[in-house]
C-alpha cells in the first residue's frame, strides 16, 4: 500500500483554468503539507495542516486553496492557473511537529500552457 | 530563510567520498537531510537536533555544528545507488522547515 498517494501524477492545462490535486495518507499522521518544487528544484512549503487545522500558510497567492476534509486527506485547489504555477507539487505527511520526518507523495507535475 | 547548500553538484566514481555542506544565516534548531532520485519523491535520510550530534544511515552520515550554524553530509565509499539530489532542510525553532536548493550527486561506475 502506498503511504502517501496523490493524484493526478501529471496535469496539463490551459492558463485560466481551475484544477485540483488530491492527496491521501494511510500512515495515521496528524500533519499534512503541500510543497512546491520549481524548475530549479527549490522545495518550498506552501501549507501545513494539523488534524484538519491550517497551521502554516506561507506567502502563496490566494488562488491556491487547500482543503482538509479529514486528517488523512489534504487537497489543493488552484484557481485561474498561470504559467508560473507550472511546477511539481508534493504532498507530505508526518507526525505532529516539524522535527518528525516527512513522508512525501510521488508528486504531481503541473504544466500550464 | 532558505539554507545554502554547497557544492551545487558533484560527480564521483564508485568508492569515492564526498561532503555536502548546508549553511544557515540564523541559529538552527534542527537539520533534516533528504535524497531525491530523478522523477521521484524526496526520501528521508536523517534528522539532527541541536546538540552537535552525528548520525548515520548506511555509509551516509551527517554532523551538525550549532556554533557554525551548519550541517555536513558525508557520503563514504559511494555506491551507484547514492546518485540523486540531496536536500537539507533547516528549522529555526519556529516549526517551519525550509529546504536548500539541493546538491546533485552523480556516482559513476
Kindly report the CATH number assigned to the domain that includes residue B56.
2.60.40.10
CA distances from B38 to A31, A87, B5 (A): 26, 15, 19
Domain count, chain B: 1
Chain A contacts to B (CB-CB under 8 A): 4, 40-45, 55-56, 90, 97-107
**Candidates B44, B97, B102; nearest CB to A45:** B97
Is B42 within 8 Å of A103 when comparing Cβ atoms? Answer: no
B 79-108 residues inside an 8 A Cβ radius of A: 85, 87, 89, 91, 95-99, 101-102
More confident residue, B94 or A106: A106
Range of the domain at B100: 4-108
Cell of B79: 555506491
**Candidates A56, A101, A104; nearest CB to B41:** A104
Strand ranges across the sheet with A4-7: A4-7, A19-25, A73-78, A64-70
Q: What is the pLDDT of residues B40-76, one digit of tens each?
A: 899 999 988 877 666 676 789 999 888 888 999 999 9
| pLDDT over 90 (residue A12) | yes
Average pLDDT over residues A97-106: 83
Average pLDDT over residues A8-16: 97
Mutate to test the interface with B, among A97, A99, A106, A108 (most CBs of B within 10 A): A99
Nearest residue on chain A to B91, alpha-carbon basis:
A98
Contact list, A90 vs chain B (CB under 8 Å): 41-42
Assigned fold of A4-112? Immunoglobulin-like (2.60.40)
**Candidates B40, B98, B101; nearest CB to A40:** B101
Q: What is the pLDDT of residues B23-46, one digit of tens each?
A: 998 888 889 999 999 888 999 999
**Candidates A101, A103, A106; nearest CB to B47:** A101
- A36-41's contacts with Cβ under 8 Å and 24+ in sequence apart are A36/A87, A36/A88, A36/A89, A36/A90, A37/A87, A37/A88, A37/A89, A37/A90, A37/A107, A38/A87, A39/A86, A39/A87, A40/B101, A41/B85, A41/B101, A41/B102
Amino acid at each position: 500500500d502506498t503511504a502517501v498517494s496523490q493524484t493526478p501524477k501529471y496535469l496539463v492545462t490551459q492558463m485560466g483554468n481551475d484544477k485540483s490535486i488530491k492527496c491521501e495518507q494511510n500512515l495515521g499522521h496528524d500533519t499534512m503539507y503541500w510543497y512546491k518544487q520549481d524548475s530549479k528544484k527549490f522545495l518550498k512549503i506552501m501549507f501545513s495542516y494539523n488534524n484538519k487545522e491550517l497551521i502554516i500558510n506561507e506567502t502563496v497567492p490566494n488562488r491556491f486553496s487547500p482543503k482538509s476534509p479529514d486528517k488523512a486527506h489534504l487537497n489543493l485547489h488552484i484557481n485561474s492557473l498561470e504559467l508560473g504555477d507550472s511546477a511539481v507539487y508534493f504532498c507530505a505527511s508526518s507526525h505532529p511537529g516539524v522535527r518528525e520526518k516527512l513522508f512525501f507523495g510521488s508528486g504531481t507535475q503541473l504544466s500550464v500552457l | 530563510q532558505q539554507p545554502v547548500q554547497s557544492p551545487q553538484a558533484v560527480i564521483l566514481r564508485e568508492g569515492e567520498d564526498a561532503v555536502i555542506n548546508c549553511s544557515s544565516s540564523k541559529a538552527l534548531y534542527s537539520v533534516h537531510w533528504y535524497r531525491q532520485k530523478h522523477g521521484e519523491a524526496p526520501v528521508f535520510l536523517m534528522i539532527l537536533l541541536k546538540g552537535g550530534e552525528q548520525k548515520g544511515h548506511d555509509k551516509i552520515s551527517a554532523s551538525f555544528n550549532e556554533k557554525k550554524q551548519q550541517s555536513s553530509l558525508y557520503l563514504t565509499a559511494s555506491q551507484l545507488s547514492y546518485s540523486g539530489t540531496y536536500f537539507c532542510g533547516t528549522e529555526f525553532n519556529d516549526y517551519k522547515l525550509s529546504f536548500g536548493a539541493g546538491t546533485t550527486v552523480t556516482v559513476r561506475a
